[in-house]
A and B are shown apart, each in its own frame.
Chain A
Amino acid sequence: MLRPMFTFGCTLVLAACAVHMPAVPMHRFLDGDLDAVAAAMRNEQANGSAENSALVLNILAQCELFLGDAEAAWRDFGAAGRIMGNWQTSGGEAAGAIVGSESSKTWKGDPYEKAMNAFYLGLAFLWRGEPDNARASLKHGILADAEVGDEKFQADNPLLFWLAGRMSTLMGKGDDADDFFKEARTANTFAMQHGSRGDASGAVLGRPDDGNLVLLVECGIAPAKVAHGDLDELARFESRWHPADRARITLDGRVLGETVVLADLDYQARTLGGTEMEGIRKGKAVFKKASLIGGVALLNIASRDRGDSARTNAIVGGGLILLGLLTSTAADVRHWPTLPATVQALTTNVTPGAHLLEIEFLDVAGRAVPELHQTWPIDVPAASQTYYLFRSLPGLDRQAAARAATVGTGRTEVHP
């Protein structure tokens, strides 16, 4: 009786190397101090858990992207994507996560996080002048998005389909583009019918191939993954408040309009569906409760008994309590905390040359949030398309201007 129990305990201890969420200085991120966040992530990469590598690389790459180093971002999003896209898992790692702590496993992200990695990597490839690899990444994201538990929600990310369509056009594949645009409209309609925000007016998806200037704007902050249940065995998402709801774009003093939502990460996270691990954790929670109750009951009997019987009950009861305490039921709540709540877009046709772009981030009531206001000088080339990505964080334009004054412009744009 005792030896098998100890063997089981041994396995539990073997698998008990739980990995926690990397220390991301979120207040710094929300203040727009991306240099500090990047430094923290480099430190995590050097000294933190290898199991968090993809998560750390994604956050670092995001900082690099918004700091104007698109090449470094391409490298790090690519490295993270290779970990996230790999289904292969060793038997030991799977056993460790099932028997011991679930968070002992390598972080690969939920489908919406994989889709966002694919989105960023796609843009990074586009900015390198490789629309075919950009499309490959977006297609990879579409497949990753289809990994959700509930089949109903397996192809509902209009952003990826729309961008894959535009990349197809750049590759000269009009038929493919039409198919992707059709899928984008279907995904948008479906997602909106199920509570997502989307392009209701067809401002972007109604004329998906239009515009030589494509502005992608990230607003808000993505939901946090938190543990619920008596023994933290359930993973749930909680929305996080942020003042930026959408953006109003002005070009050379002329208001172009407001951006429309093409990816709603609150909705994407909410519709993930269940996983097999959730069932396993629930089973472990039942076992843990039963072991602790049984152990206490046996110790109680032992305290009122004498002789060999009392000793046996005490040892078995103690063993059960030990097993109960060693059984980890907590859900793995590691998540990508620096993602936006929504990715929005606005496309327009502008005359080639230099322009001044102003972005006013608006709250839910439509009031401008002055501290998030950004002004960017942009250059639109002739006979080409330009893609820009912005984020509702304070001071990114001022940081970029200061950087450009010392090291030259490194702003993210493409002229494929």
Chain B
Amino acid sequence: MFHQRPARSVLLGLLVLATSACAGTIDRRVDPDSPDEVGGAVLQSQDIRTMAQNMARDLASSGLLTSTANNQTVTFHIIGMENQSSDVINREIIITKLETELFKALGGGRIRVLDRSAVGLDAVKREREAKRSGAVAGNEGKRGNVLGSDYVLYGVIRDRVQQGGKLKSAYYDVTFTLTDLETDQKVWQNDYETKFLSEKSVISR
């Protein structure tokens, strides 16, 4: 039997549910190391942080950038990254994070990271010219040559994506290599790997 009071309650419930189904936006702060709920089967904040920390730790423990025969400070620069994957990525975020982690792991006084970017080199060149010509004042005590680099660090992002039916897998391999710029010898290499498996929903379009 369908009574009036339950019917009213059900209708009221329907109204509340209908209203709550069209709820607004919710923002909340999350740990960058936690898995990304948004998904997307692409390199996420967790991967970038882990990758940078692992590489910096491994490079620091190798001793390559801190020990030289005549106790000189080692100089090196990061040439950048090449993205060979099928996922567009802001390479700067990986490079900058890695540089920060290297500074933390090695200490700013023990190594010198050079800015070999086109923008950086151009700024140095213009400023030095302005100082030498007297157009701007310069600190005589700081006069010197542009430092040469002992090593160069570069990275490559590669992937292997497979797609079949409702499934897709994406394997990422990010490799970092340190090359001695005197001998052209690869003196250190390490990589970061991760893999995603995605299953397509019926409403993936």
Tell me if A269 counts as interface (CB < 8 A to partner B). no
B 72-103 binary contact with A (CB < 8 Å = 1; else 0): 00000000001111111101000000000000
With A88-B39, A121-B88 in contact, is A50–B25 under 8 Å at CB?
yes
Tell me if B86 and A280 are in contact (CB < 8 A).
no
Tell me if A89 counts as interface (CB < 8 A to partner B). yes
Tell me if A137 counts as interface (CB < 8 A to partner B). yes
| Contact residues in B for A50 (Cβ distance below 8 Å) | 25
B 17-41 binary contact with A (CB < 8 Å = 1; else 0): 1100110010000000000001111
Tell me if B2 and A136 are in contact (CB < 8 A).
no
Task: Looking at the assembled complex, report how far the CB atom of B109 sits from the nearest CB atom of chain A, in whole angstroms.
Answer: 34
Residue in chain B with minimal CB distance to A77: B88
Tell me if B163 counts as interface (CB < 8 A to partner A). yes
Residue in chain B with minimal CB distance to A114: B205
With A87-B168, A88-B38, A136-B87 in contact, is A9–B14 under 8 Å at CB?
yes
Cβ 8 A contact of A133, one of B14, B83, B163, B199 = B83
Tell me if A381 counts as interface (CB < 8 A to partner B). no
| Contact residues in A for B199 (Cβ distance below 8 Å) | 87
Tell me if A315 counts as interface (CB < 8 A to partner B). yes
Tell me if A94 counts as interface (CB < 8 A to partner B). yes
Tell me if A86 and B40 are in contact (CB < 8 A).
yes
Task: Looking at the assembled complex, report how far the CB atom of A14 sits from the nearest CB atom of chain B, in whole angstroms.
Answer: 5
Tell me if B202 and A280 are in contact (CB < 8 A).
yes
Residues of A1-17 at the interface with B, using a CB-CB cut-off of 8 Å, are 2, 6, 9-10, 13-17
| Contact residues in A for B39 (Cβ distance below 8 Å) | 86-88
Cα A202 to Cα B85 with chains together (Å): 29
| Contact residues in B for A110 (Cβ distance below 8 Å) | 205
Cα A16 to Cα B14 with chains together (Å): 11
Residue in chain A with minimal CB distance to B167: A87
Tell me if A146 counts as interface (CB < 8 A to partner B). yes
- B-contacting 9-mer, from A97-105, A294-302, A382-390: A97-105
**Residues of A within 8 Å of B, CB-based: how many?**
48
| Contact residues in B for A140 (Cβ distance below 8 Å) | 86-88
Tell me if B13 counts as interface (CB < 8 A to partner A). yes
B 175-205 binary contact with A (CB < 8 Å = 1; else 0): 0000000000000000000000011111111
| Contact residues in A for B13 (Cβ distance below 8 Å) | 10
Tell me if B161 counts as interface (CB < 8 A to partner A). yes
Tell me if A108 and B82 are in contact (CB < 8 A).
no
Tell me if A94 and B202 are in contact (CB < 8 A).
yes
With A121-B88, A136-B83, A140-B87 in contact, is A85–B18 under 8 Å at CB?
no
Tell me if A227 counts as interface (CB < 8 A to partner B). no
| Contact residues in B for A223 (Cβ distance below 8 Å) | none
Tell me if B146 counts as interface (CB < 8 A to partner A). no
Cβ 8 A contact of B203, one of A9, A105, A137 = A105
Tell me if B69 counts as interface (CB < 8 A to partner A). no
| Contact residues in B for A230 (Cβ distance below 8 Å) | none
A 118-160 binary contact with B (CB < 8 Å = 1; else 0): 0001000100000011011101101100110000000000000
Tell me if A13 and B18 are in contact (CB < 8 A).
yes
Cβ 8 A contact of B40, one of A17, A85, A111, A146 = A85
Cβ 8 A contact of B17, one of A10, A147, A171 = A10
Task: Looking at the assembled complex, report how far the CB atom of A362 sits from the nearest CB atom of chain B, in whole angstroms.
Answer: 34
Cβ 8 A contact of A108, one of B10, B38, B198, B205 = B205
Residue in chain A with minimal CB distance to B170: A143
With A132-B84, A137-B88 in contact, is A89–B203 under 8 Å at CB?
yes
Tell me if A277 counts as interface (CB < 8 A to partner B). yes
| Contact residues in A for B203 (Cβ distance below 8 Å) | 89, 93-94, 97-98, 102, 105, 277
Residue in chain B with minimal CB distance to A137: B88
Cα A87 to Cα B10 with chains together (Å): 36
Task: Looking at the assembled complex, report how far the CB atom of B8 sits from the nearest CB atom of chain A, in whole angstroms.
Answer: 12
Task: Looking at the assembled complex, report how far the CB atom of A278 sits from the nearest CB atom of chain B, in whole angstroms.
Answer: 10
Tell me if A171 and B82 are in contact (CB < 8 A).
yes
B 114-149 binary contact with A (CB < 8 Å = 1; else 0): 000000000000000000000000000000000000
| Contact residues in B for A78 (Cβ distance below 8 Å) | 88
A 13-31 binary contact with B (CB < 8 Å = 1; else 0): 1111100000000000000
Cα A102 to Cα B2 with chains together (Å): 32
Tell me if A96 counts as interface (CB < 8 A to partner B). yes
Tell me if A136 and B38 are in contact (CB < 8 A).
no
Cα A2 to Cα B42 with chains together (Å): 47
Cα A82 to Cα B22 with chains together (Å): 23
Write 21 A-B pairs (CB below 8 A) sorted by A numbering. Answer: A6-B10, A9-B14, A10-B10, A10-B17, A13-B18, A17-B21, A86-B38, A87-B168, A88-B39, A97-B202, A98-B203, A110-B205, A125-B88, A132-B84, A136-B89, A140-B87, A142-B86, A143-B163, A143-B168, A171-B82, A275-B202
Known contacts A87-B200, A88-B38, A88-B201; 5 further A-B pairs (Cβ under 8 A): A6-B10, A17-B21, A93-B203, A98-B203, A277-B203
Report the 5 A-B pairs with minimum CB-CB distance, sorted nearest first.
A88-B39, A139-B86, A89-B201, A276-B202, A132-B83
Residues of A within 8 A of B (CB): 2, 6, 9-10, 13-17, 50, 78, 81-82, 85-89, 93-94, 96-98, 102, 105, 108-111, 121, 125, 132-133, 135-137, 139-140, 142-143, 146-147, 171, 275-277, 280, 315
